[in-house]
Amino acid sequence: MEHELLKVKNDASSLIIAAEDEKELNEIKLDFLGRNGKLTQLLKRMKDLPEERKPEIGRLANEIISTVEDLLATRGEELRGEKKEKIKRAVEDITIPGVKPSLGHLHPMSQVLFDVIDVFKGLGFQAADGPEIETDRYNFEILNFPKDHPARDTQQTLFLDTRKSKATSGETILRTHTSTMQGRIMEKIKPPFRVIVPGKVFRYEQTDASHGFEFWQFEGYAVDKNITFTNLMGTLDYFVRKFFGEETKIKFTSHNFPFTEPSLEGYVSCVVCKGKGCSFCKQSGWVEVLGGGMIHPNVLRNVGIDPAEWQGFAFGTGLSRLVILKYQMDDLRLLTNPDLRILEQF
Ligand code: PHE
């Protein structure tokens, strides 16, 4: 009997502590202390006990009953308190503005990237993406840079260590320009097409305020019938006005690239001094932003397009440079600095 009483006490205590609402608590109360409750049933058997044990068991039974009653009362209060707290919370002033989570935003590099893509999408260009680790073939060979061509020197190429792989030594590099994607795409699709390719490029350069060994470019090219040099200049003029503002001017000088003929370089009027001359543009009023030209017939032939039937223009611009020009930053390295004090200014 003693054991049974203690067991009932333990069962009741653990159930009471775990009860989650008042209804459950009432059920527990009935289950133990009700007319047919477990404790009540046990007490009914008291009369069968030998006379000398009755006072002792009686005291234990009373103790257990009052412990269970106390526990029920305490848990009941707790539950009522929680309910009140819940109601209180629900009627708190809901017009007080909440705590605003601080939202991040796109990196200035990405913002500019999307702006550029938008302008060219409007002109019917499609955006494409390609590998940063490249082969000599796409970075040079297809683009009319034969193995001994001096223009290869201008590309300050980073070669990958391929000694432990099957690749031919000296053939696997980090792409030095996004022009690699001319060959990769033109080999696969048939003209006419208009493509832009934004992406990261790498060159073996000493880093300073206006040079990095890793920077962004974007390439654009169009192949169709009767494409002219004027189409290229018109497209670039439209782009800089859309991107920097209608008042921006563009000027072209002649240049030389192995993969375009004729070639040009494009300068925009300095966004800082509006062309008057300042330290940003080295007093010239102009900032160089791009290279371009008519796709060389050899390049078209290398990808299986007949240059007698199709012509194309191509251009490449330093996307990182466009970003610092647009936001008038004085150091390219700020773009790869993860400092929030810089990034939060955009
Ligand atoms: N790829 C050249 C560079 O990185 C730019 C360019 C692209 C020039 C397309 C002409 C045509 O300097």
Nearest CA to ligand 1 atom 5: 316
pLDDT on residue 183? 97
pLDDT on residue 10? 86
User: Which secondary-structure segment (H or E) carries 255?
Assistant: strand 250-257
Nearest CA to ligand 1 atom 4: 177
How far apart CA 322 and CA 250 sit, in angstroms, is 14
% of the chain residues with pLDDT over 90: 52
**Is ligand 1 within 6 A of the CB of residue 321?**
no
Nearest CA to ligand 1 atom 7: 316
Ligand 1 centre to CA of 289 (Å) is 11
Does the pTM surpass 0.75? The reply is no
Looking at residue 45, its amino acid is: R
pLDDT on residue 246? 93
Region of residue 40 (phi > 0: left; psi between -120 and 50: alpha; otherwise: beta): alpha
Which residue from 278, 283, 281 is spatially nearest to 268, judged by alpha carbons? 281
**Is ligand 1 within 6 A of the CB of residue 296?**
no
Both tokens of 17, joined, read: 């502590």
Mean pLDDT across 284-297:
95
pLDDT on residue 335? 87
Both tokens of 284, joined, read: 């010239």
Give the 3-state DSSP-derived string for 197-245, with helices as H, strands as E and coil as C: EEEEEECCCCCECCECCEEEEEEEEEEECCCCHHHHHHHHHHHHHHHHC
When mean pLDDT is compared across 84-98, 167-181, 270-284, the lowest value belongs to: 84-98
Nearest CA to ligand 1 atom 6: 316
Which residue from 229, 241, 244, 242 is spatially nearest to 314, judged by alpha carbons? 229
Using most ligand atoms within 8 A of CB, pick from 179, 196, 255, 264 the residue to mutate for ligand 1: 179
When mean pLDDT is compared across 81-95, 187-201, 291-305, the lowest value belongs to: 81-95
Q: What is the mean pLDDT of the chain?
A: 90
Per-residue pLDDT of 224-275, as tens digits, reads 999 999 999 999 999 999 999 999 999 999 999 999 999 999 999 988 888 8
pLDDT on residue 263? 98
Contact at 8 Å (CB) between 308 and 226? no
Nearest atom of ligand 1 to the alpha carbon of 317: 5
pLDDT on residue 222? 98
Ligand 1 centre to CA of 59 (Å) is 99
Per-residue pLDDT of 317-341, as tens digits, reads 999 889 988 888 878 888 888 888 8
218 beta partners: 198, 317
By three-state DSSP, how is residue 284 classified?
coil
- Token look-up 């962004």 returns 216
316 beta partners: 219, 291
pLDDT on residue 317? 95
Report how far Cα 204 is from the mean position of its chain's Cα atoms: 27
Per-residue pLDDT of 155-183, as tens digits, reads 999 999 999 888 888 899 999 999 999 99
How far apart CA 98 and CA 269 sit, in angstroms, is 47
Q: Is pLDDT of 315 > 80?
A: yes
Nearest atom of ligand 1 to the alpha carbon of 217: 4
Q: Is pLDDT of 282 > 80?
A: yes
Q: Is pLDDT of 201 > 90?
A: yes
Nearest atom of ligand 1 to the alpha carbon of 179: 1
Per-residue pLDDT of 113-153, as tens digits, reads 999 999 999 999 999 999 999 999 999 999 999 999 999 98
pLDDT on residue 328? 86
Phi first, then psi: give them for residue 150, nearest 5 degrees: -60, -25
Extended beta strands in 5-152, E state: 126-127, 133-135
Both tokens of 195, joined, read: 């493509």
pLDDT on residue 95? 84
